[in-house]
Structures are given as C-alpha cells and as structure tokens.
C-alpha cells in the first residue's frame, strides 16, 4: 500500500477518488504508520504531490497532509513530522480544522468552495449544529438534486451563537469528510439588512435569500377602497422608479396568456397587490443592488421570499411581484410565495391537497412564463404529502428548503443512545416553548405531549413522531443547546455516535428526496 501512496504523491494533478477498498486500506496505512488517527477513507484526496485527508483522534477531527514538498505542509498551522516511505522523504502535518486552515484547503481543492446553482432542481439542507453534512451527502448522492449544505438564517445564527463563517466551515469539513466533489451551494438565509448581507458575502456565500416580510402590508387585502388608494399613493415611487399611472398602464386590464390559463388583472387586484407588496419590491431592489456592489463581480444568486406573511400570495400578486422585479432589472433564481394551506415547522402540510395542487400549478406556470425561475418551498421539512405534487408539476424548477428537521434527528439519536439526557432536553424544551414559539409559525400544545415519565427508554424515539412534541422540540433548539448543563453532553453524545447520527439522517432525508428523483 505504500507503493500506492508513493505513486500518487508523484502526481501534480487532482486524482479521481480511490476505489472504496483501496481508500480503506490507505486509511489504515495512514493510521498505523503516519498519523495515529482514524482516517475517513472518502476524504482522501491526492493533488499537487500531496495527499489530504480528515482524521479523528480522541473525539476531535484534524486535517492531515502528507507530502514530499515541505512548502505544501508549512502553509497549514499544525504539528509536523518527517519520515521516510519506500526511500521517499515526506513531511506529515496534523492540523486543526480551523477557519484559517479551511481557507488554505479551499485554495487547493476547488470543490470545497460554494458555487452557484442555476435552474437545477435543488435542496437546501440546514444544519443548526454543524454536524449534519455527512448525513445530508449520503442521501443526496442517491438523487439528481443539487445541494446547499451551508444554510442557516440570521435568526438561527443568533440563537445558536454561530456565525456565517462557522456555518460555511462546518459544511466544508463535512463535504471534505465524505469526499463530495460534485458541487454545493451556500445559502445566506432570510436576510433583512445590508449588514447581514456583508457578513455572509465575506464568508463566501453564493445564494442570498431576501426576507422582506417586515415590508408586507397584510392589511391591504381587506382595507377599504379609499384607504387602499391612499396606501398606493404613498408608496416609495422614487425607489420604485415608477408612478401609479405607469403601473396601471403596464399591468392593468391586459390579457396575460400563461401556459394553461389566461387572466386579466383588474384595477382592484393590482392596487391591492401594489399596496401589499410595493414596499417589498423597493426593499428587495435596494438589497439586491447593495449585493451586486458588495459581490464585485463574484457570481451569486438571489431568492425572494414572501412566505412568512399572514395571507396567501395570489396569482395576480405573484405576477405583480415578478413583473416589477423584472422591470427594475433584478435577477433572481427562485421565489417563495405564501402558498395555500399551512406550513408549520417540522410537521407535514396542513390543508387541502387538491387546492394546493391547483394553486401550485398556477404559480409554476407564472414562474415558467415570467422567468423561468424556481419555486421555493420554505419550511419544507417533513412536508411529505406535497412533495409528489410539487415534483411532478415543477420538474427542474423547484427548490426545497429544510432546516430544523436535522436537529430533530439529532434528538432522535440522543433518545436512542442517551435517554436520560433526552428526558432532560424534553423537560427543558417544554419550559421554554411559550417564549421560543413567538417567532415561529407553530400550533403545538404542550398538553398534547405524553408525560415523559410514563415512557420507557425504548419508547422515547416514538415521541418524535408526535406532532406536538416535534414542534415543541423544533423551536426550542437555541434554548437547549445554549444551556450549559445540556450543551456539553448534547454534542458529546452526537460525536460519540457520529456514524449512527449520519445513518439516521440519511434515512430521514431519503424520505424527503424520494419524490424528487
């Protein structure tokens, strides 16, 4: 096996992944003769007369580098040793999985950099803990979906104490560990300010989800005609670079022919759409133009999100949003309307599937006609009943966004391997649910959760099949992992049972992605 190592160290170009059996043999060789670390076989990469790999020792992960070239090793911060393999002198470096070492590794291995997606069918895999990417990858390998592995919202970062760079680095090390070379995106999720944009741009994100929810006027749907007219008149027309008369001339009363239907937007519909979403258009335009300036030529993609509103986005409103963004020169890849029905966190779709299918088909027709761009499904975790409908109607023009469900699968892992800790987490989550639920769309009632004292250890994982328990545990993640008596054993359990957590995640995401294959 030393011959395999020495042979590949002579190559300057990127060598394709080793066959599984050879990768495992080489991992054992690196463990026994050079590093004394358990090496992840799929992480092994040969390039530039060096081999890079990820290993684990005493529960901590390290970057390993072996190369006859001293300059290759010295650019990484770590411990170095010299040795001889089959008469070849090599330097072995064991380096921390630090942000600085991640920068150097990205410069060498281009597939560790986030990239844009385009109009490929895609899925976002949020990870609140920084440990889930290997499980996400194992599931995504079975699909044709393009993955986003670095995805966390500003709100989630605030509650977990993480930063955009931390999220990016954690995803990158997961990509490296699993040997994923087919590309991934990085989603700066639910951005509300230019300062948020700047922080994610500095960390190398490629996908920016603008959340203009604070600028939606939900009252426009029911306000009187006179008040509606006033709302439209006081819109920031200078920022919209238009006038009420221009808007009417562009969209009112004209027959709009779409794939399967046609419509005419009445004056009433147009004025309500403008009153409801006019400030959204102005805000999105300002953020987008700041983003263009901030990225300074680097490729990026925009997602517009209006899903977290009180009322459904009508087809006329969708047309208004897309038409106005297009007029203002905004380029976007996906849009998340507020669909019919209810999208609560961590549970299946609540609503009439027939009604959803009819509405979704009209929305995708608009996206095809005025774009094309993808429709994005936010709060998309565990919405198993609508996946077949969305996949069939949208084809490639679909983006599924998941997040908290990976945290719930971490709790499932803990319930199986550390039941006492799981019980403590449930008690703590119940206490903090009343305050933590305020910024999430959930309807769970604590009274509907079984008394955990009555459940045996074997029954604990079943609690994660209960609607009310799932939502309570889903939204209290920040309180749980920031509570010192819970935090240390929480992460220790997941690290000790890393492979189990990865397999549990793989199984869970197979259920999410199956309909999109």
Catalytic center residues: 189, 303
Strand 185-191 relative to strand 334-336, pairing: unpaired
Do 54 and 64 meet the contact criterion of CB atoms below 8 Å apart?
Answer: yes
Stated length of the chain: 517
Q: How many CB atoms lie under 10 A from the CB of residue 321?
A: 25
Inter-residue contact 400 to 377 (CB < 8 Å): yes
* DSSP string of 119-144, one letter each residue: TS-EEEE--SSS--HHHHHHHHTTSS
Q: Which residues of 211-238 are buried (b: 16+ CB within 10 A; e: fewer)?
A: bbbebbbeebbebeeeebeebbeebebe
| String of DSSP letters for 256-281 | EE-SS-EEEB-HHHHHHHHHHHHHHH
- Residue 424: how many other CB atoms lie within 10 Å: 19
Buried b or exposed e, range 94-117, using 16+ CB within 10 angstroms: bbbbeeebbebbbebbebbbbbbb
Other CB atoms within 10 A of residue 500 CB = 15
**Cα–Cα dist 96/84, whole Å:** 24
Tell me if 245 sits within 8 A of 271, measured CB to CB.
no
Q: Which value, in Å, is the radius of gyration of the alpha carbons in the chain? A: 25
- C-alpha 240/C-alpha 280 separation (Å) is 10
In 197-279, DSSP assigns E strands to 207-210, 255-257, 262-264
Q: Alpha-carbon distance 123 to 432, whole Å?
A: 30
Given a contact cutoff of 8 angstroms between Cβ atoms, the answer to whether 43 and 14 are in contact is no
CA distances from 58 to 30, 323, 338, 479, 495 (A): 16, 57, 47, 28, 10
Cβ burial of 84 (10 Å; 0-12, 13-18, 19+) is: exposed
């Amino acid at each position: 096996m030393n011959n395999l190592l020495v042979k590949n160290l002579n190559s300057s170009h990127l060598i394709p992944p080793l066959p599984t059996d050879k990768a495992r043999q080489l991992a054992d060789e690196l463990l026994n003769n050079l590093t004394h670390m358990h090496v992840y076989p799929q992480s092994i990469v040969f390039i530039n007369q060096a081999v890079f790999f990820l290993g684990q020792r005493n529960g901590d992960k390290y970057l390993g580098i072996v190369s006859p070239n001293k300059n290759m090793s010295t650019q990484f911060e770590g411990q170095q040793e010299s040795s001889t393999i089959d008469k070849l002198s090599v330097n072995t470096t064991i380096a921390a999985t630090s942000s600085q070492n991640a920068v150097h590794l990205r410069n060498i291995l281009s597939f560790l950099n986030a990239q844009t997606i385009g109009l490929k069918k895609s899925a976002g895999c949020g990870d609140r803990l920084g440990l889930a990417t290997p499980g996400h990858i194992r599931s995504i390998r079975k699909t044709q979906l393009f993955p986003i592995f670095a995805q966390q919202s500003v709100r989630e970062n605030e509650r977990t104490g993480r930063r955009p760079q931390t999220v990016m680095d954690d995803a990158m090390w997961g990509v490296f560990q699993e040997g994923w070379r087919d590309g991934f995106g990085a989603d700066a999720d639910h951005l509300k300010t230019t300062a948020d944009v700047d922080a994610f741009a500095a960390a190398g994100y490629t996908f920016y989800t603008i959340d203009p929810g604070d600028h939606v006027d939900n009252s426009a749907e029911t306000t009187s005609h006179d008040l509606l007219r006033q709302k439209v008149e006081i819109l920031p027309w200078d920022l919209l670079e238009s006038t009420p008369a221009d808007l009417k001339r562009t969209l009112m009363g004209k027959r709009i022919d779409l794939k399967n239907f046609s419509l005419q937007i009445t004056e009433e519909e147009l004025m309500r759409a403008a009153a409801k979403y006019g400030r959204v258009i102005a805000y999105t335009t300002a953020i987008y133009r700041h983003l263009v300036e901030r990225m300074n030529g680097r490729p990026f993609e925009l997602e517009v999100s209006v899903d977290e509103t009180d009322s459904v986005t009508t087809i006329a409103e969708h047309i208004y949003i897309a038409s106005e963004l297009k007029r203002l020169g905004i380029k976007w890849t996906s849009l998340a309307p507020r669909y019919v029905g209810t999208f609560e966190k961590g549970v299946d779709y609540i609503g009439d599937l027939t009604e959803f299918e009819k509405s979704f088909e009209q929305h995708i027709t608009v996206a095809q006609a005025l774009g094309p761009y993808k429709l994005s499904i936010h709060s998309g975790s565990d919405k198993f009943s609508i996946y077949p409908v969305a996949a069939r109607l949208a084809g490639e023009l679909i983006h599924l966004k998941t997040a908290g469900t990976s945290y719930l699968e971490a709790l499932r892992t803990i319930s199986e391997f550390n039941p006492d800790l799981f019980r403590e987490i449930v008690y703590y989550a119940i206490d903090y649910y009343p305050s933590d639920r305020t910024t999430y769309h959930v309807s769970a009632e604590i009274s509907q959760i079984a008394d955990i004292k009555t459940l045996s250890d074997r029954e604990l994982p079943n609690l994660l099949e209960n609607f009310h328990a799932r939502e309570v545990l889903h939204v209290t993640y920040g309180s749980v992992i920031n509570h010192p008596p819970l935090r240390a054993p929480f992460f220790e359990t997941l690290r000790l049972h890393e492979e189990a957590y990865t397999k549990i995640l793989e199984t869970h995401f197979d259920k999410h992605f199956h309909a999109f294959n």
